[in-house]
Structure 1
Amino acid sequence: MSLFPATDVQLPDAELDFHSHWLEQATADLWLRQLLEQTPWQQPQVRIYGREYPLPRLVAWYGDAEASYRYSGLIHRALPWTPLLAEIRARLVATVGQPLNGVLLNYYRDGQDSMGWHSDDEVELGVNPLIASLSLGGTRRFDLRRKGQSRIEHSLPLNHGSLLVMGGPTQHYWQHQVAKTRSPCAPRLNLTFRLIRSPS
């Protein structure tokens, strides 16, 4: 568990806690190296306006046997927990104080890999889902905007070893993204743990 307190990000209709140094450097370095080596990365195709496009990042979904997850029109069947991911989950459960039965790994290889505007509001996540997002590797900017608005209202630099916890009504009122960037950036791995309440 972190020795550093969380920073409460003040946004209306949102619950955001940011631990910029949740992990010590040596552990963050080790986890990043092991996860990049061990993960069977995929780049699925998504359909947008009738055309197929490769997802602009690599992904993998792990979880309990019943924790299938649908997003971007795809149903992801969970790979079984590895010893490392089970260890990470146990540390996160101790931090957030609730069960977590699935994790989506996103691998941003460079600044052209991205995540578009969205909310984690799928039905299987329940009414007020908690998303625990662990970042490893290069720092990327995390943007938030009100649903229905185009203006970015808040941005956070998600650095190596940081943890962002989104809870309460956040997903009802806010969208988030990791935009493409032309600035040089190291590869980044993001693990978003969640609780699947009603599997797809």
Structure 2
Amino acid sequence: MTVAFQASLLDVDEPCGLGPLTPARTALSHGAWIDVLPGWLRGADALFDRLVAAVPWKAERRVMYDRVVDVPRLLKFYDERDPLPDRVLGDARSALSAHYAGELGEPFVTAGLCLYRDGRDSVAWHGDDLGRGGREDTMVAILSLGTPRSLLLRPRGGGPSVRRDLGHGDLIVMGGSCQRTWEHAVPKTARPCGPRVSVQFRPRGVR
């Protein structure tokens, strides 16, 4: 697959690798929190190019509001038994599992990948609550590659939203009750926007 992507000038020719895992935590309401670490993955644009080319991206259709619609992004899910498409993703998952072992109590085992091709691709408000995230505290770690896009979070039932612009190797971890008590979204944008890959690491049984 070929997509038009403008690499970061700060990332040109930098070797691909993980920096120190020292995120800054923001407490939300109802026991939810987010950790954010800009530029955790060095050389992220090279990984973006490899994933766009190597991952067998799939277009899906889903039932929404009593009709079947195209999912506005391309997808690929790697279960815990599936080999990941790049060694760096395995390194990132292992580093996250080690860092959060004391709080999470279990490793991150799956990886869900999304390709947002341009500003028309998006994901609607939701929580990762189809599995255990709907009834117990957990974590979802997202590594963002490519063009930065806005990730919005808001409390379920209404309230002010929180915005983080993520891309070029940035990390965000949503923890505590976040999947039950908050929602998140990547909205469409009319401004010129290049592609982005989102990699979501989750524990077993969290979707």
Runs of 4+ in 1 over 6 A off after TM superposition: none
Structure 1: gaps of 5 or more residues: 66-78
2:169 is equivalent to residue 161 of structure 1: yes
* CA–CA separation in structure 2 for the residues paired with 1:191 and 1:41: 13
Tell me, yes or no, if structure 1 residue 9 matches structure 2 residue 26: yes
Indicate the residue corresponding to 1:93 in structure 2: 97
What is the TM-score when the length of structure 1 is the normalising length? 0.83
Cross-structure match for 2:147 = 138
- Alignment correspondent of 2:39: 21
CA contact (8 A) 2:129 2:206 kept: no
* Higher mean C-alpha deviation, range 127-136 or range 97-106: 97-106
Q: Cα gap change, 1:31/1:91 in structure 2, threshold over 3 Å: closer, same or farther?
A: farther
* DSSP-derived class of the 1:155 partner: strand
Tell me the residue number matched to 2:78.
62
Q: 1:114 is aligned with what amino acid?
A: S
Identify unmatched segments of 5+ residues in structure 2.
1-17
Quick check: 1:116 aligned with 2:124? yes
Any idea what SS the aligned residue of 1:86 has?
Answer: helix
Structure-1 separation of matches of 2:19 and 2:128: 25
Alignment partner, residue 30 of structure 1: 46
Whether contact under 8 Å (1:64, 1:81) holds in the other structure is no
Give 2:96's aligned amino acid. Answer: L
The corresponding residue for 1:82 is 85
The residue type paired with residue 39 of structure 2 is H
Tell me, in whole angstroms, the C-alpha distance in 2 between the residues paired with 1:49 and 1:106. 22
Residues 79 and 110, structure 2, Cα contact 8 Å, conserved in 1:
yes
Q: Deviations over 1:21-63 (max 9, x none)?
A: 2112x2x122111111110000110011221111000000002
Q: Which amino acid aligns with 2:19?
A: S
CA contact (8 A) 2:60 2:71 kept: yes
Count of matched residue pairs: 183
